[in-house]
Amino acid sequence: MTTKDPSAEPTPTGLREAKKARTRAGLARAALQLVAEEGLHATTVEAIAARADVSPRTFFNYFDSKDEAVVHLGADRFRRLMLRLFADTTEAIAPPAANPVLQIRDVMVDFLRESESDPDASADDDLVREALERDPSLFGTLHTSMAAVGAEFEAALTAHYTSAADRDLARVGLSVALGLTQTAMQSARAGLTDAPLTELVAHYFDLLHTAFTDERPLP
């Protein structure tokens, strides 16, 4: 006779949280799809709830507005990146780079590589871009959501790095990583390159490193 290890069983709380996360993501994805198809003004909470197969009342258990639902997946991706940056690395295959900028570069490239291999993540990214391009007013809502995640990032910086210099490097590293990723996405959308996003971001990091270490005199 064998006895199951209780710690191996999913807890009711864990199951509830997983179900909530799926419902929240489903609502956000439905909102993105509708805005990409019809625009923000024509999209209603009732339509979002119907596409996600829940009631409008359920929608308001997760979001205060349709704008918030539309930008949720974009902000949530930033939050997941932040969690990866400050995750416990004791079981990592290779130790993280000592320089916070290089550590963030490595995490960002790895994060993008995983997303490129995940069809659902790639589809969500496309929807986010389409919705923002169709209704630029959503950038304001996205900025507000990202600011909230940024506050969490600052708190994590304080807990993760003991020196002010490393905290500053991490801030710069994240800004650079996000900026280069945005540049790579714009280049891809404009048809300037057919290189995978991950390779392009890594290439831009290399270019930036070369620009700051090239000591040749200016002409």
| Domain chopping of the chain, boundaries | 66-213
pLDDT in tens, 130-144: 888 888 888 888 888
The tokens describing 113, both together, are 């590589």
Residue with tokens 């939050």: 79
Instruction: Tell me the C-alpha distance between 172 and 53, whole Å.
Output: 42
Q: For the chain, percent helix, then strand, then coil, each to nearest 5? A: 75, 0, 25
In this predicted model, what pLDDT tens digit does every residue of 152-172 receive, in sequence order?
888 888 888 888 998 898 888
First to last CA, the chain: 81
Is the four-CA dihedral 157, 161, 162, 164 of positive or negative sign? negative
Q: Which amino acid is at 218?
A: L
Q: Crossing angle for the helix pair 119-134 and 66-85, nearest 10 degrees?
A: 130
One digit per residue, the tens of pLDDT, for the chain of length 219 reads: 444 444 444 456 788 888 999 999 999 999 999 998 999 999 999 999 999 999 999 999 999 999 999 989 888 888 888 888 777 543 333 445 578 888 888 888 888 888 878 888 778 878 888 888 888 888 888 888 878 888 888 888 888 888 899 889 888 888 888 888 888 877 877 788 888 888 999 999 999 888 888 755 555
Handedness of CA 162, 168, 169, 171 (dihedral sign): positive
Vertex 50: Cα angle to 44 and 53 (nearest 5): 145
